[in-house]
A and B are shown apart, each in its own frame.
Chain A
Amino acid sequence: MMTVLNPRGKPPGIPLVPMAPRLDSLDEKTVYIVDSRFVGGYSLLQEMVGWFAKNMPKVKTVFREKTGSYFDDDPTLWAEIKEKGDAMIMAIGH
């Protein structure tokens, strides 16, 4: 029998993040539809904007492309959503 050391590193502890309360309905709400700028996401989300216009016209959609590449943060956009939006849908193409 043999004893060996564990080669695995220690992953960091995880602080749990509570999810935001949900909306009763999307009617009369402002939903931001955000393209993370990965390839193909723009076209997919344009179709989604069209779907809302046709099927749920009481939902106000605001389309935005995130600044920078898909790696970049966009605090300005998040602040705008916090101030003016009620919810966000975000797509990453591939």
Chain B
Amino acid sequence: MTVEKLGKPSAPVITSMFEELAKTNAFKKGMPFQRFTFVPHPVAGRSASVHREYIEGKSPITGKLVMQEIIEALTKPLNDEEKKMGFLERAVPRLLAPDTPENLHQRFLETGWTDGLPIVLPTEERVAKMLKGTSHRPDKVVGRMAPSSPHEAWEYTVEKVAINAVMAGAEPEYFPVILAIASTGKTSLFSSTTSFARMVVVNGPIRDEIGMNSGMGAMGPFNHANATIGRAWTLISRNLGGGAILGETYLGSQGNNLSYNNVCIAENEARSPWKPFHVQMGFKPEESVVSIFHGWGIIHQHGAGGVQKIYHRQMSTLLGSFCPFSSDTAPAGAIVLVDPLVARDLKEIHGFNTQEKLSQWLHENTRITVGDFWDFSLVRSLTLPLAQKGVEPFASWLKLPKEALIPRFPNPKGINIIVVGGETNAFWQAGDFRYQVSALVDAWR
């Protein structure tokens, strides 16, 4: 599209799986008649001879010869529609037409405004009650959110966040937490074929004020605040963040079950031997903060450390299975969720008297060969360009022999440790989640 704006005709070629996405995106960027040519899917992982067949063959969408379509895209004169200029408004009414509750529930479900579960219908009365949970005006802009960077970002107000918070079943006292999450502009339904998930950790006094769970069962369906705050983020991401429309703004091939609640937990600060996560990130202990993480999955590590309680070595083994790619916005990272029993053993038996020391140890001891590192397709797509631009340590790693060992996580700060759990047993879990951003809840009270 950039090249078209420079006065040169273009012919984008896309695989047939993404026809709807490509056309919708072109529409949203102002070129609804962009001339795409579609080849069979997939291109990745196919041999040169298959690619030759694609080029010499027909488009699976139009049935025309691929190269004929490409040449026509560049040479066929523009029609009147293609020459149009102007501005398209996309208005959204504030109120829906009155209807019965049953019909409204059906409409919300069929229109894709829910997570598939029943919602609380957002009447003006319920939304007004939710708005009492904040001192901010309903028309104040909270943030902007897009499914991922190529997509358009939608702007949303306090009232819009309140509507979705009501739908999730949240209470007004949870609203500052939900607003803080919304203010980050991070969608919980990131559009990628890899099926990302997100996670939110809450720190500070707000946890106890609103009755969040950081102890037994904190990561499970046992607490109203944990459940509805996490759910509200999903609904906000669907309805305020540009859509989460399957095939258009959500492409996860399998989806991610964590997206129902986004692992919404409170950190167990009272039972932790370490400083809370938000204090590690530079906030004051008395501040209430939400922190967002981005990844794919969480794995439980069975076995309570054995006789020697070598949790850290077990952690290194598990973290050693995570994809080590780094991009310019997401350095390689992991999250380790430790029960307070594990945290105290790590401190008292193994001398990890801070999380930073444990992160440093994991950074030093979780290694991979250079050859294996550069073999990951995501590393080649996202980290190799950084190396080629001279970004360290990746640039230096290009020059190392294949058998040389390098840290899987180049920065120990990429490995974050959160204390959560109710001490019924000394377990821990870890996920390939990378820290993204934190936001102050207190700013939204």
Contacts and interface: CB of A to CB of B under 8 A. Distances in A.
Contacts of A31: 74
A94 B15 contact: yes
Contacts of A3: 95-96, 98, 123-124
B389 A82 contact: no
B162 to A, nearest CB: 9
A62 interface: no
B11 to A, nearest CB: 5
B34 interface: yes
Contacts of A55: 67
A53 interface: no
Contact of B86 (A4, A5, A16, A69): A16
A23 B382 contact: no
Contacts of B4: 17, 19-20
B399 interface: no
Contacts of B160: 7, 9
Given A7-B164, A9-B239, A85-B8, A39 B75 contact: no
> Size range of the interface on A?
35 or more
Nearest to B156: A9
B122 A5 contact: yes
A72 B13 CA distance: 18
B145 to A, nearest CB: 8
B1 A17 contact: yes
B389 A86 contact: no
B5 interface: yes
B78 A44 contact: no
Given A8-B113, A19-B9, A26-B75, A92 B3 contact: no
Nearest to A79: B6
Interface string A1-33: 111111111111111111111111110000100
A78 to B, nearest CB: 5
A87 B8 contact: yes
B75 A22 contact: yes
Interface in A56-94: 67-73, 78, 81-82, 85-94
A46 B74 CA distance: 19
Contacts of A8: 92, 113, 239-240
B8 A15 contact: no
B185 to A, nearest CB: 12
Contact of A68 (B11, B84, B240, B389): B389
B372 interface: no
Contacts of B442: none
Contacts of A69: 327, 381-382, 385
A10 B145 CA distance: 11
> Size range of the interface on B?
35 or more
B420 to A, nearest CB: 31
B248 to A, nearest CB: 12
Contact of A93 (B15, B55, B242): B15
A71 B378 CA distance: 13
Given A11-B154, A13-B89, A70-B381, A6 B10 contact: no
A44 B47 CA distance: 9
A24 B77 CA distance: 8
A32 B35 CA distance: 16
A67 to B, nearest CB: 7
Nearest to A23: B75
B45 A40 contact: yes
Contacts of A67: 385
Contacts of A91: 12-14, 43
A44 to B, nearest CB: 4
B149 A71 contact: yes
B124 A78 contact: no
Interface of B: 1-15, 17-18, 27-34, 39, 41-48, 51-52, 54-56, 67, 70-71, 74-78, 82-96, 98-101, 104, 108, 113, 121-124, 127, 149-150, 152-156, 159-160, 163-164, 167, 193, 235, 239-242, 327, 377, 380-382, 385, 389
The 7 closest A-B pairs by CB, nearest first: A93-B43, A40-B43, A9-B240, A40-B44, A17-B30, A39-B44, A91-B13
Interface of A: 1-26, 31, 37-41, 43-44, 46-48, 50-51, 55, 67-73, 78, 81-82, 85-94
